[in-house]
Amino acid sequence: MKEDGRIKKHPILKFDRGKKVYFYFNGKKVEGYENETVAAALYAMGVRIFSRSFKYHRPRGFFCAIGKCSSCLMRVNGVPNVRTCMVRVQEGMVVESEHAFPSAEHDIYSVMDYIPFISKTGFYLKTFIRPRFLYGTYQKVIRKFTGLGKFPTKKAVYKPPKENPLIETDVAVIGGGPAGLSAAIYAAKLGANAILIDENWRLGGQLIKQTHRFFGSARHEAGIRGIRIAEDLTRQVEELKDKITVMLEATATGYYAEGIIGVVQKGKFIKIKPKRTIIATGAYERTLVFENNDLPGVYGAGGVQTLMNVYGVKPGNEGLMVGAGNVGLIVTYQLLQAGVKVKAIVEAMPKVGGYLVHAAKVRRLGVPIYTRHTILKAYGNKKVEGAIIVELDDKWNPIPGTEKNIKCDFICISVGLNPTHELLYQAGATLKYVRELGGFVPLRNKYMETDAKGVFVAGDASGIEEASTAIMEGRIAGITAALQLGYGDESAIKLREEIMKDLEEMRSGPFGEPIVRGIKKVLIEEGAQ
Amino acid sequence: MSGEIKEYLRTGIIRVEDLGELPSEERLKKKPVCITECIQPIPCDSCYYACKFNAIKMDNINDPPKIDYEKCTGCNLCLRTCPGLAMFTVGITKDGKGYVTMPHEFEPYPKPGDIVEILGRRGQSLGKARVKFVFPPEKNDKTALVTVEVDKDLIFEARAIKVM
C-alpha cells in the first residue's frame, strides 16, 4: 500500500489537506491528513474494499462518499459501524474493517459467495434447527458469518447524561447546502435567530465539490463556480454569527412530538425546539441494476466528485461514465481536469440528457458518448477491471452482437438522484411520489411550506433540480419563516416576490418544463392551518 | 423516435452547420468577433449581462443568445463568464491567418509562443498551432483564454487545445 492517489496539481483547486497524521488501519500504522476523512485517506493509499456484504461477504467499495450509502462502515476507535466517509482522520485513530476475517481485503468468509446451496432463500433457517440441542451452537457459529460488527469496547460505550440539553430558537435549518445556507441567511437577515445543522465538518453541502461555473441568472450567481458560491454563502453565515448558530458534524436524527428535533453532535444528544423548521437535506444518488454492480470500483458520480474535488484523491486512472445527464457530463469534465482518463459515456436514452454545451465540452476533448447504450455488466477480481456495454433497440432491449468491452478501473453511475425525505416524513408532511421531481417529495405551498405545522422544505429535498434554484427556494423559505414569526416588513415581501418571479423565469424553458409539471402535482394552496 | 432527435443531441457534437448565421469573411477580417455555440434553450443569461456593448440578444433567460456581429468588438468578456465554455472569438488577419480564442481550464496552462496540438469538435487532432496570447488563469478564476494561430479554414473547427 505504498501508492499515493492524491492529486498533486489541479487547474482549479488547491487542496488544503492540513497536517500529516498517523493512524492505524487493521493494526498497521498508516498516514493521512487531518482534513481527510478516513475513507479518503484509505482510498489514497490504495484501499478499495471497505467492507463486506451482510450474507455472502462480497467485497464492498465506497459509493456515495457523503454518508448516505453505508458501504464504507468500519470500526473506529472501538465504535462499530462508523461511516468512514464522514469521520476525519485523527492522530492515533484505530480503524478496523468489520465483519470479515482476517480483513475485508482477504476475507475467508467470502467462500459464502461460492457455495451455491447456501444462497437458497431460507436454507440455513430450515437446516440449522435440528437436532434441537445444537440450535444454540448453530446460532453462535452463524452469528460469526453474518451481522454487522461487534459490540463496542467499554471505552467507546456512550454514557447518556441525566438530562439532554434543550435549545429553543426561531428557525432550525437542517442541511448546510445551498438551500439551507440561503434559508438561514435570509431568515437571519430579517432578524430571526437560526440554528443551522449539518452533518459535515464544513458548510456548503455539495457545492464544495462543484468546480464548474454555474448556469443561471446573472442576478443569482450565474457564471460563478460552485466552490466560490459555497465560500461566499459560508462567509455570509459567519457575518451573521450573532443570529446564526452553526452546528457542524451534527446529525439531525429525528423529528419528535411537539416539534423537537433530535441532534447527535460528537457523541452528545441535543434537543432543539424551533418555532419553524426548514428541511434542506438534499438528495442521495441512485444506483443502477446490472451484473456486478456491487463490485468495488462502481461508484456514484457524486461520490467520485467528492473524492477528487474535496479530498484531492484520484478515483482511478481510467473510468467509464454511465449516464449523460448534467451530473455525468460535468463529472466527466472534472475527471479530465483531475488528470483521469474517461473511456466513454454511455446513455440509455436516445439523446444526451444534460446541457448540450456540457456534452460538446467533453466531446472536443475526445470522450465518446454512446447514446442508446447501457452497461451490461462490470467484471474484475475484487475490483472493477472493465465493463461490457451494449447498444439498445427501440424497445430498450440489448442488441446481441453490439457488445463492447471497455477496460477501466472504475465506473461512475450518474442516473439521477432521490430526494432525502425521511425527516419530512417524520415531521408529518404528506409525501407524494412525483417522477419529475425524482421521488417522494412533500406537498408544499408556493412559499415552500409543507402541510406539516411550521415545517418548510427547500432545495433537492423538495425535488431534484439545480443548486441555483435550491438557493432561490432556500431564500423564499427563509424569508417566509421569518415573516411568520413577525420579522421583516413590506420590503421582505417584495424581495420574496422578486425571487419567486426569477425562479419562475428560470423554469420557463424546456429543461424547467418537467419540474413545473412535477411541482403542479404537489402544490397546495395554504400551509398548515 | 430517433428520427426526430437532432443529430447533435444524439452525439453531443455541435457541428458548424448547427450554429446558424456566422460572421462573414469581410467581418472576420475587420476585427475579432465572438461566436456562440450555445444553441439549446437553457436557463442562463450570464453572457447577456457580461456584454458591455449590447451585442448579445436574448428574449428571456431560456432563449439561446444571438450575437450582433456588427456591435461585437471581440472583447472576450462573454468568454470569461460562460459556464458552458461555449463562446469563442475568431478572426482573420489581413495576411490571411486565422485566430481562435478559446477557454482553457487544464494543467498545464500554455504560455504565448508554445506550440500546442489543436483539437476539433470530435476531439480529433487538427495539427499543431502556435499560441499567440494567453489571458492568464489567475486573472479569471482559473479559466484561461488562449488565442491560437490556425489556418483560416479552421477557425470554426479548432475548439480545444492540448498542451504538449
CATH of the domain at A88: 3.10.20.440
Residue A90 lies inside a defined structural domain of this protein: yes
Q: What pLDDT score does A454 carry? A: 95
Residue A368 lies inside a defined structural domain of this protein: yes
Do A404 and A322 fall into the same domain?
Answer: yes
Do A51 and A145 fall into the same domain?
Answer: yes
Percent of chain A with pLDDT over 90: 81
Do A178 and A213 fall into the same domain?
Answer: yes
Among B5, B43, B44, select the one facing A351 at the smallest CB separation: B5
Summarize the confidence of residues A209-217 as an average pLDDT. 94
Residue A6 lies inside a defined structural domain of this protein: no
Q: What pLDDT score does A487 carry? A: 97
Q: Which of A360, A393, A415 is the last residue of a domain?
A: A415
Residues of B in contact with A215 (CB under 8 A): 42-44, 46, 83-84
Q: Which of A117, A135, A156 is the last residue of a domain?
A: A156
Quickly state the pLDDT bin for A118 (edges 50, 70, 90). low
| Calpha distance A205→A209 (Å, rounded) | 9
- Is pLDDT of A147 > 80? no
Q: What pLDDT score does A525 carry? A: 85
Q: Which of the residues A210, A213, A217, A369 would you substitute to probe the B interface, choosing the one with the greatest number of B C-beta atoms within 10 Å?
A: A213
Summarize the confidence of residues A276-284 as an average pLDDT. 97
pLDDT digits (tens, 9 = 90+) for A424-461: 999 999 999 999 999 999 999 999 999 998 999 999 99
- Is pLDDT of A1 > 50? no
**CA nearest to A393 within chain B:** B2
Q: Which of the residues B40, B138, B143 would you substitute to probe the A interface, choosing the one with the greatest number of A C-beta atoms within 10 Å?
A: B40
User: What is the four-CA torsion angle of A345, A347, A351, A356, rounded to 10 degrees?
Assistant: -40
Do A391 and A439 fall into the same domain?
Answer: no
Residue A138 lies inside a defined structural domain of this protein: yes
Check CB contact under 8 Å for A505 and B60: yes
Return the ∠ at Cα A155 (arms to A151 and A160), rounded to 5°: 85
Query: Residue A498: enclosing H or E segment and its boundaries?
Result: helix A490-506
- How many C-beta atoms lie closer than 10 Å to residue A120's C-beta? 10
pLDDT digits (tens, 9 = 90+) for A17-76: 999 999 999 999 999 999 999 999 999 999 999 999 888 889 999 999 999 988 999 999
Residue A127 lies inside a defined structural domain of this protein: yes
A172 in Cβ contact with A274 (< 8 Å): yes
Q: What pLDDT score does B115 carry? A: 97
Structure-block grid coordinates of residue B31: 476585427
Do A30 and A141 fall into the same domain?
Answer: yes
- Is pLDDT of A144 > 80? no
Structure-block grid coordinates of residue A518: 412535477
Residue A529 lies inside a defined structural domain of this protein: no
Residue A291 lies inside a defined structural domain of this protein: no
CATH of the domain at A370: 3.50.50.60
Residues of A in contact with B11 (CB under 8 A): 363, 369, 371
Residue ranges in chain B whose pLDDT is less than 50: 1-2
The mean-pLDDT minimum among A159-173, A352-366, B106-120 falls in: A159-173
- For residue A34, give its domain range: 20-156
Contact of A161 with chain B, judged by CB distance below 8 Å, is answered with: no
Name residue, grid cell 427556494. A473
Q: What pLDDT score does A119 carry? A: 66
Do A35 and A143 fall into the same domain?
Answer: yes
Q: State the smallest CA–CA distance between residue A363 and chain B in angstroms.
A: 5
Check CB contact under 8 Å for A364 and B159: yes
The mean-pLDDT minimum among A149-158, A295-304, A408-417 falls in: A149-158
Do A89 and A199 fall into the same domain?
Answer: no
A302 in Cβ contact with A65 (< 8 Å): yes
Q: What pLDDT score does B151 carry? A: 96
- Is pLDDT of A83 > 90? yes
Q: Give the count of domains, chain A.
A: 3
| Calpha distance A327→A282 (Å, rounded) | 15
Check CB contact under 8 Å for A357 and B86: yes
Q: What pLDDT score does A214 carry? A: 94
Do A44 and A187 fall into the same domain?
Answer: no
A148 in Cβ contact with A72 (< 8 Å): no
pLDDT digits (tens, 9 = 90+) for A281-302: 999 999 999 999 999 999 999 9
DSSP assigned state of A278: E
Do A430 and A516 fall into the same domain?
Answer: yes
Structure-block grid coordinates of residue A2: 505504498
Do A408 and A363 fall into the same domain?
Answer: yes
* Per-residue CA distances from A231 to A183, A215, B45 (Å): 16, 18, 22
Residue A352 lies inside a defined structural domain of this protein: yes
Q: What pLDDT score does B3 carry? A: 54
Do A383 and A428 fall into the same domain?
Answer: no
Do A337 and A424 fall into the same domain?
Answer: no
Q: Which of A132, A156, A180 is the last residue of a domain?
A: A156
Written as one letter, the residue type at A480 is T
- Is pLDDT of A140 > 70? yes
